[in-house]
Amino acid sequence: MRPSEKGWLKEYLDFRKDLLGELTSEKKRASHPEHSLYRLIQPTGLMYGHAVDALDHPELEELDEKDKMKLLLAESLISSSLLFHDKPVKDPEELSKLITKTLESIAGFYNNVFPELATPSKSLFGKRKSALELAEKILDKRIERTAEYSGNFWVQFFHNSLLFLDIFIFGQWIHTNADRIVSDFFKYEREELRFSVVKIIAAAAHANNKIEFEERKLLEFFLQSAGLPPDKKKEAIEIFDRGIAVETINLPTNNSWLLKKYFLEMAILTIWADKKIEDTESEFLVQLCHYLDFKEDDLENSMIAIEGFVLEHWEQLGYLQNKQDYNEVSERFIKRLTKLTENNKSRIVGEVRESKVLMDLLKKAKAEELAEDEKQKVQELMLVVLKTIPTFVIIALPQRYLTLPVLMKILPANIFSETLKD
């Protein structure tokens, strides 16, 4: 499957058919669709303009960044449609029809809401293109309009994180009948949401009452890719220069949890741009949470999600590679998880006791050194236990980062002795 070659989308659908089927199951429908979609796309990096985890692709190392991002965009759009589907899919034939309908929606969405990507439905010889062919061509065009992949985390973040807004708006589009009035509304929403991101960046950049060099560069990166009309671009620069109070941001009235989560995490990463968070900036984030009608737990969860993402993919996020920064992020993350596991201690003890294999290995560890494969098994089973903590129903755990030694740091000190009590 080579996303740079014709026919890649059909190969992708064949490759991912089992996962796509799972998205329409009763189990997935038990969670809120927006929570499920966040859990699916946040670890991939797409929300942050990166493609660090491209769907377990068998030739991942050989793909360039644009090909990875193309796969992730296709996956996210299709997943959004399936997760918001109003009933479980009974069989492969029904799933196939639903995916075909989704591909038609992708083509209609981009042709109407992104006129610069408009793609004719017929070939030069008058042959009608299939939904698959049309969607593939439009996705190719969309990714070609993202930034070149420079290896700089922040350049890519503010150029390409707008792809997330494609996914969000598409999630609304698929429930409408696309006439001209509807299309005009979504084109207006696309512009307004992008302008809202400018306001979030400006408010976050002014949180410590001074504009850092890194923060000003972020706005430049963002404006290069936002495609705002000249008057809006001028207004955006003015807002950034003078700052904007949280209560005057006037974000869109849509009460989407996922959209608010995106705004919050854009603010967090803007503040992260100079690699430190001051007290005034922490206070701003708390204030922003209240404005978004989030609790402080939502802020803590987003910090865990972002720090976990960065630590999991440190080697791939070139701009962030600095040992001191890594240690700082790691210490903060471990401190957050230690607090979380302490608060969920009884749950963890109960889950460990439910696993006979894990209990047997822990008993053995008291008497002798475990072999390497046994240590790996303990690590795998402990990660399964941690996934039962409510926070990790929505947030993905950074599994490569959470080695057994790291797990030993974050778990309550006497957790195993309590677990092994008779």
DSSP per residue over 58-81, as a string?
Answer: TTGGGS-HHHHHHHHHHHHHHHHH
- Our CA angle for 76, 78, 81, nearest 5°, is 105
DSSP 8-state assignment for residue 371: P
Q: How far is CA 409 from CA 330, 334, 413, 415, in A?
A: 11, 7, 8, 11
3-state secondary structure of 122: strand
pLDDT value of residue 195: 84
Count Cβ atoms below 10 Å from residue 374 Cβ, excluding itself: 14
pLDDT value of residue 253: 64
Q: How far is CA 396 from CA 165, 167, 168, in A?
A: 21, 19, 20
Each residue's pLDDT expressed in tens, for the chain with a length of 422 residues? 677 788 888 888 888 777 777 776 655 555 788 998 898 888 888 888 777 765 666 666 677 778 888 888 988 999 888 888 777 777 778 888 888 899 999 999 999 998 888 888 877 777 888 889 899 999 999 888 775 555 566 666 666 778 899 999 998 888 877 677 888 888 888 888 888 888 888 888 888 877 766 667 767 777 776 677 888 888 888 888 888 888 888 777 667 899 999 999 989 988 876 667 788 889 999 999 999 999 889 999 999 998 888 888 777 665 555 555 788 888 989 999 999 999 999 898 888 888 888 888 888 887 788 888 988 998 999 999 999 998 888 888 888 899 988 988 888 877 767 776 65
Do residues 81 and 174 lie in contact, with contact meaning Cβ atoms separated by under 8 Å? yes
pLDDT value of residue 138: 92
Do residues 2 and 8 lie in contact, with contact meaning Cβ atoms separated by under 8 Å? yes
The structure's pTM equals 0.86
List, in sequence order, the alpha helices (H) in 16-145: 17-22, 26-29, 33-41, 65-83, 92-113, 131-144
Do residues 51 and 68 lie in contact, with contact meaning Cβ atoms separated by under 8 Å? yes
pLDDT value of residue 210: 74
pLDDT value of residue 314: 78
* Distance, C-alpha 303 to centroid of its chain: 13
Rg (CA), the chain: 23
State which amino acid sits at residue 77.
L
Do residues 95 and 20 lie in contact, with contact meaning Cβ atoms separated by under 8 Å? yes
CA distance 214 to 154: 9
Let me know if 352 is exposed, middle or buried by CB neighbors in 10 A (0-12, 13-18, 19+): buried
pLDDT value of residue 305: 92
What are 308-311's contacts with CB under 8 Å, separation 24+? 308/333, 308/395, 308/396, 308/397, 308/398, 308/401, 309/42, 309/43, 309/45, 309/48, 309/398, 311/398, 311/401
What lies within 8 Å, CB to CB, of 406 at 6+ separation is 334
